[in-house]
Chain A
Amino acid sequence: MRTRPRLYVSYSSEMALLPTWTQKIAALAFLAFLVIVPFGVIPGLGFLSDNDWLKLLSRVAIFAIGALGLHILSGLAGQVSLGQAFFVGIGAYTAAVLGGEVGKSTWGLGLPIWIWLPAAGIVAALVGALIAPTAVRVRGIYLAIVTLGLVFFGEWIFRSTPFITGGAQAGREFPSLQFRFWKEEVPFLDFTTDGSWFGISVTSEAKTYLLLLIFVIMAVIITKNIQRTRTGRAFMAIRDRDIAAEVMGVAEAKNKLIAFALSSGFAGLTGAILGAFVGRLVPEGFSLFMSIQFVAILLIGGIGTVSGALLGSAFVILLPRIVQDFTGFLASVAESGSGFFSWFAGIFVSTGIDDPGIVSTLPGTSPGLNIGQFNLFLYGLLLIGFLIFEPLGLYGIWIRVRNYWKSWPFTY
């Protein structure tokens, strides 16, 4: 009985990150699973070690960091923000200027990663703190519009400073994930080339994935720890009732400023890593769509929880790929056979000009939405579905499943 969920015998056990042994073991097992993913030894999931899947998983990790940042601001402190993309951009360009090489028309100092990566977070956090006083003045929907304005403001700044961003529709190179002591020729840790670690050969994709995994774990621990400190509790008090919090002595403006700064800092780190991961970005990338993506991650995953932010990132980033594969699979079913499944798939996909369907596998000629449009369409529908039917998101579904099995075979 000592390790039943929600049975706490001491304050410190209630505050522990993983209160029960079951949770400790599960977390460790999951971590071990994530670590061995790139080596392709997991039966049935070997495809995850393919380079394209590793890159997708790395992308999940990158977006998870930004989503954790938004989780602090929106999930904990309850402030609606559509401006996350702006801070991602600030971080990315800080990293580019500090760590990038001098281009034909772009600045770059070529400093090592241990300078540009933290700096990206710090600069973005400072910008966030700078903007916070204005944002604190407005609340609710007004705040949503102000932060939205921030994105347009960012787009204007980014396209007007070609010496930093490389200019609109052109972009610039970003520093790569290489660890150097200073500006020496050969990095002591290089994530851009294949190599071998402890006698096991690892591809650059696998290396990058493992590095990003470490980053995410660090981000998770930081977020979890913020959550259980005085500041975290202040955030939640403001979220639940701001005036009540103030009456109780929680300084609203100060804590909102901290929340903005922390959230922007995470976003900045995301930007720096994203730039390094992708290699080249154009200023248009830091658009409203990116902001929406972060909000969608939180809402699909389940707002207010760290697991939700992680689950949501995985879902939102992997969705297009899964839809792509699923559609391709349906198309092959529809084309190659007869019978019920083929008939069913045929309704869904359009594989020829005369074949009506929801998704067209031949963009341009056959009717229906093309695969890109279908992805967006499904993305929107899923968001609506989650918001209406499962406001707690994937995390809520998980809780439901867990509760079901906890008392199985009894209903109560």
Chain B
Amino acid sequence: MKKLRIFVLVLALALVAAACSSDGDDTTTTTAGGDATETTVATETTAATETTVATETTAATETTVAPADLKTDFGVDVEAGTITVGQTADLTGPFAPLVAPILAGQQMYWAWVNGNGGIGGMEVLMETRDTNYQVEQHIAAYDEIRDLVVAISHTTGSPQTLAISDALEEDSMIAVPATWYSGWTDTNIAPTVLHTGNPYCLEAMNGLDWMVSVEAEEGNDAPTLAIASIPGDFGFDPMAGATMWAEINGIEIVYDGSGKIIPGQDQKPIADAIVASGADLVYVTTTPTTFSEVYGAALQQGFEAKWSGSGPTYNPAFLVSPIADAIQRDWYGTFYMQPWGGDSAGMALTMQLVEASGADIPANDYVGLGVVEAMIVHAALEAAYASGDMTRAGVLAALRTLDNVDFQGMAPAENYTGSTADQIQRSITLWRPSVANLEAGGSGSEIVESDFVGPTAESFDFQEACFQF
């Protein structure tokens, strides 16, 4: 017991030492007596010498490449030859299963960029903080890295991203959110938070356009619609889209469960209501776990309909679960980019990166999304480098000149210039779940059509966010 106490003391001292040294100050730790001090000091000095050596060697090779007159402020260190991009990511919360492959994709992509000479010879480093999908922790995480990074290449969650959007604007920090809230396209909301792909509300229109055309082929010209979602913009934005879609197309919404799915509760009442409504089309936006509860309870009662929902609602694990057959029959999937194993050059690159990394990553559509997120930041950084201004404001300005950020076909090209209406992305990838695809080593998402734009999504006049708080 006594030994343990000493161990704890040593550990605590070591932690203090680490906290000091990582800050870069030349500090001496407060002495607390005993032989513990010696070890701590020893650790510190070793670390100090080692890091300096490392920095010197890199600096020597890099300074020749980076232009001396490059303007920088945060996160770009010309001397050390490094560019740091930050991630405020949900590593332990409900969306951790989606975020892990996204970060894996980013790591692979940046490693590849660095292997090909980096950006102006500078190496891109990642600085990740956990947010636990909590607004409060998200803000704290951003505060922690805001002075270390030049851009945020991933931020999980809409309410969380919205909570830091003022700080982002104040810092002129571009941020790529892993959420498809339509407000990100709206230039009046969070002007430094970038949109990637089709926003939730247009996704809902696209998905419903598709389902209704299939329904028409099957001879049903007047299908009915049921909708349900979790609360928050993740749920309300697609629900707003679905409601507008129903209005435009004159289709009756027989059950409206917007915001009624509460994670962690019994979902049977929602399923009962959907079943009782007898809808032909169901549009649901929630987490995969709660979706499986709603869908399972509806299926139990023998309910059959065409189901669709926002991208993150679906999880490939459905295809190895008891609902696999039913989900194959019922699910009409939409995704903001090509799923795993798509036919584009960008996807081929992603596959190549996964293979090169040697990581044991299960086939997952979100790895490619990580690559897309990194590509946006990469494009902005390259443009900023070319302009000679790699301050955060410079990166933002450079990004705002890009009207065609290309993802080599793995996602529709993005425009970051002009008005809200100019920037809106209307195109989406349609896919169906397929056990055969999964068994062949894919992610189970069989592409039906890339770059699909439904008639309602096409003509929708997008001037502002579909849903605002």
A329 touches B469 (CB 8 A): no
Residues of A within 8 A of B4 (CB): 385, 389
Give complex CA distance A333, B469 in Å.
46
Residues of A within 8 A of B143 (CB): 51-52, 55
Contact with A along B8-25 (1 / 0, CB 8 A): 100000111011111101
A364 touches B102 (CB 8 A): yes
Interface size class of B (residues with CB under 8 A): 35 or more
Decide yes or no: A159 and B469 within 8 Å by CB, A46-B25, A326-B14, A337-B50 being known contacts.
no
Give complex CA distance A342, B236 in Å.
50
Residues of A within 8 A of B51 (CB): 332, 336
Give complex CA distance A159, B265 in Å.
13
Which residue in chain B gives the minimum CB-CB distance to A364?
B104
Closest approach, in angstroms, between the C-beta of B157 and any C-beta of chain A?
9
Within 8 Å by CB of A372, from B43, B92, B358, lies B92
Contact with A along B52-75 (1 / 0, CB 8 A): 011000000000000000000000
A44 touches B91 (CB 8 A): no
Residues of B within 8 A of A80 (CB): none
Give complex CA distance A150, B166 in Å.
33
B358 touches A169 (CB 8 A): no
Give complex CA distance A399, B22 in Å.
31
B163 touches A47 (CB 8 A): no
B46 touches A333 (CB 8 A): yes
Give complex CA distance A172, B101 in Å.
31
Which residue in chain B gives the minimum CB-CB distance to A341?
B46
Contact with B along A361-401 (1 / 0, CB 8 A): 01111100011110110000000010001100000010000
B231 touches A168 (CB 8 A): yes
A321 sits at the interface (CB 8 A): yes
B47 touches A329 (CB 8 A): yes
Residues of A within 8 A of B99 (CB): 363-364
Give complex CA distance A282, B233 in Å.
12
Decide yes or no: A370 and B135 within 8 Å by CB, A170-B233, A329-B18, A329-B22 being known contacts.
no
A105 sits at the interface (CB 8 A): yes
B23 touches A364 (CB 8 A): no
B421 sits at the interface (CB 8 A): no
Give complex CA distance A383, B416 in Å.
49
Give complex CA distance A333, B53 in Å.
12
Which residue in chain B gives the minimum CB-CB distance to A342?
B50
Which residue in chain B gives the minimum CB-CB distance to A167?
B231
B127-145 with Cβ < 8 A to chain A: 128-132, 134-136, 139-140, 143-144
Closest approach, in angstroms, between the C-beta of B190 and any C-beta of chain A?
13
Which residue in chain A gives the minimum CB-CB distance to B29?
A44
A59 touches B92 (CB 8 A): no
Decide yes or no: A364 and B101 within 8 Å by CB, A282-B159, A333-B50 being known contacts.
yes
Residues of B within 8 A of A333 (CB): 46-47, 50
A195 sits at the interface (CB 8 A): no
Contact with B along A155-168 (1 / 0, CB 8 A): 00001000000111
A34 sits at the interface (CB 8 A): no
Closest approach, in angstroms, between the C-beta of B13 and any C-beta of chain A?
11
Contact with A along B300-342 (1 / 0, CB 8 A): 0000000000000000000000000000000000000000000
A233 sits at the interface (CB 8 A): no
Give complex CA distance A45, B16 in Å.
11
Give complex CA distance A244, B21 in Å.
54
Which residue in chain A gives the minimum CB-CB distance to B89?
A363
Within 8 Å by CB of B25, from A47, A321, A323, lies A47
Residues of B within 8 A of A45 (CB): 20, 27
A364 touches B100 (CB 8 A): yes
Within 8 Å by CB of B235, from A169, A389, A390, lies A169
Closest approach, in angstroms, between the C-beta of A295 and any C-beta of chain B?
18
B259 sits at the interface (CB 8 A): yes
Residues of B within 8 A of A332 (CB): 47, 50-51, 54
Within 8 Å by CB of A363, from B103, B231, B259, lies B103
Decide yes or no: A322 and B18 within 8 Å by CB, A280-B135, A333-B46 being known contacts.
yes
Which residue in chain A gives the minimum CB-CB distance to B22?
A325
A159 touches B231 (CB 8 A): yes
A44 touches B361 (CB 8 A): no
Question: Which of B103, B231, B259 gathers most chain A CB within 10 Å?
Answer: B231
Closest approach, in angstroms, between the C-beta of A351 and any C-beta of chain B?
11
A307 sits at the interface (CB 8 A): no
B107 sits at the interface (CB 8 A): yes
Residues of A within 8 A of B37 (CB): none
Closest approach, in angstroms, between the C-beta of B231 and any C-beta of chain A?
4
A149 sits at the interface (CB 8 A): no
B18 touches A325 (CB 8 A): yes
Contact with A along B21-36 (1 / 0, CB 8 A): 1110101111001000
Give complex CA distance A371, B131 in Å.
11
Give complex CA distance A245, B64 in Å.
79
Closest approach, in angstroms, between the C-beta of A347 and any C-beta of chain B?
15
A281 sits at the interface (CB 8 A): yes
Decide yes or no: A52 and B25 within 8 Å by CB, A159-B262, A169-B232, A339-B46 being known contacts.
no
B234 sits at the interface (CB 8 A): yes
B230 sits at the interface (CB 8 A): yes
Which residue in chain B gives the minimum CB-CB distance to A281?
B135
A170 touches B231 (CB 8 A): yes
B352 sits at the interface (CB 8 A): no
Closest approach, in angstroms, between the C-beta of A379 and any C-beta of chain B?
11
Which residue in chain B gives the minimum CB-CB distance to A339?
B46
Decide yes or no: A285 and B136 within 8 Å by CB, A169-B159, A364-B101 being known contacts.
yes
Contact with B along A330-365 (1 / 0, CB 8 A): 101101110101100000000001100000001111
Which residue in chain A gives the minimum CB-CB distance to B44?
A329
Give complex CA distance A118, B384 in Å.
49
A363 touches B5 (CB 8 A): no
Given contact pairs A51-B147, A103-B469, A280-B159, a sample of 17 additional A-B residue pairs in the complex whose CB atoms are under 8 Å apart = A44-B28, A52-B144, A168-B262, A170-B159, A278-B135, A279-B139, A332-B51, A336-B51, A354-B358, A362-B103, A363-B91, A364-B105, A365-B107, A365-B108, A370-B100, A375-B130, A385-B4
In the A-B complex, the 4 residue pairs with the smallest Cβ-Cβ separation, listed nearest first, are A169-B232, A372-B130, A364-B104, A372-B91
26 A-B contacts, Cβ less than 8 Å apart? Answer: A44-B27, A44-B28, A51-B147, A169-B233, A169-B235, A171-B159, A279-B163, A285-B134, A322-B16, A329-B18, A337-B50, A337-B54, A341-B47, A353-B358, A362-B103, A363-B99, A363-B103, A365-B103, A365-B104, A365-B108, A365-B357, A370-B92, A376-B92, A389-B4, A389-B5, A390-B5
- Chain B contacts to A: CB under 8 angstroms: 1, 4-5, 8, 14-16, 18-23, 25, 27-30, 33, 43, 46-47, 50-51, 53-54, 89, 91-92, 99-105, 107-108, 128-132, 134-136, 139-140, 143-144, 146-147, 158-159, 162-163, 166, 230-236, 259, 262, 357-361, 370, 468-469
